[in-house]
Amino acid sequence: MPYQPRVFAGVEVVALCDAVGPMGAAISRPLPELFPGGSFAADEEWVLHFHCHLLRAPGGTVLVDTGIGALDSPASGWAPVPGRLEAELAAVGVTPEDVDVVILTHLHSDHASGAVVNGAPAFPNARYVIQQTELDWSGGGLMRDRVIRPLKDALETVHRTAEPIPGIRVALAPGHTPGHQIVEVGDLIISGDALLHEAQLADPSIRYLYDDDQETAVKTRTALLNRATVLATSHFADPFTPVRSGDTA
């Protein structure tokens, strides 16, 4: 079931849990500083939540990220498919047709695969907001073929910052991927994969192996924690994480 909604600057924010499962065996030593010494052992199992966020604003209904998708998703090699996003949306009375804007934080398979169903946009009335830099990078051949191509006519590319719906802003936050973006609603920052693990709250210099540019990711993470009040992350167990600004300076 969806989490209890919270309201930020007049926008209702509902965290939706698409899936919960361990970081796939195909991925080893994802946080080298935190889990040194070889492969990611069973007793160090890292269980990820896969969250998407529904924003109900006066100007429209927005979905941030689309989850891991169907059984045959590009994420199926490592993530616990299928995702249950559609059921989570239905539980709060939202049909795919109701979504006006989809914001894709980035093109990794656990965030963008649910954007397409059976070769067509999963949210047929939505425009899909993505950073131009991310589209240029494309997330690899599989994502280009399976996600970007079917979305082609519905894509709306932005450069650095934009406000797709009044009160809902996106901003480029690179490092995890070249065109990774965050979403800001009042005091809330929906941070995508700028942070992967809770340990990075106290120490944003902890690297994540699959950050595209680890140095830039550390800078982005540090800057974000220095100005954030509340975070909504993709993969933490808690839907909302309070942050005391300045702790990480």
Question: What residue ranges bind Zn ion (CB under 5 A)?
Answer: 108, 110, 193, 234
In the complex with Zn ion, the residue whose CB is nearer, 233 or 248, is 233
**Cβ(199)–Cβ(208) under 8 Å?**
no
In the complex with Zn ion, the residue whose CB is nearer, 133 or 165, is 133
CB of 109 to Zn ion, least distance (A): 8
**Is 8 exposed, middle or buried, given 0-12, 13-18 or 19+ CB atoms closer than 10 A?**
buried
Give the nearest residue (CB) to Zn ion: 108
In the complex with Zn ion, the residue whose CB is nearer, 108 or 146, is 108
Residue 239, C-beta contacts closer than 8 angstroms, at least 6 positions apart: 3, 15, 51, 232
CB of 184 to Zn ion, least distance (A): 19
Residue 159, C-beta contacts closer than 8 angstroms, at least 6 positions apart: 131, 132, 172
**Cβ(177)–Cβ(133) under 8 Å?**
no
In the complex with Zn ion, the residue whose CB is nearer, 51 or 127, is 51
In the complex with Zn ion, the residue whose CB is nearer, 234 or 248, is 234
Number of Cβ within 10 Å of residue 127's Cβ equals 18
CB of 108 to Zn ion, least distance (A): 3
CB of 192 to Zn ion, least distance (A): 7
CB of 193 to Zn ion, least distance (A): 4
| Angle of CA points 127, 3, 184, to nearest 5° | 45
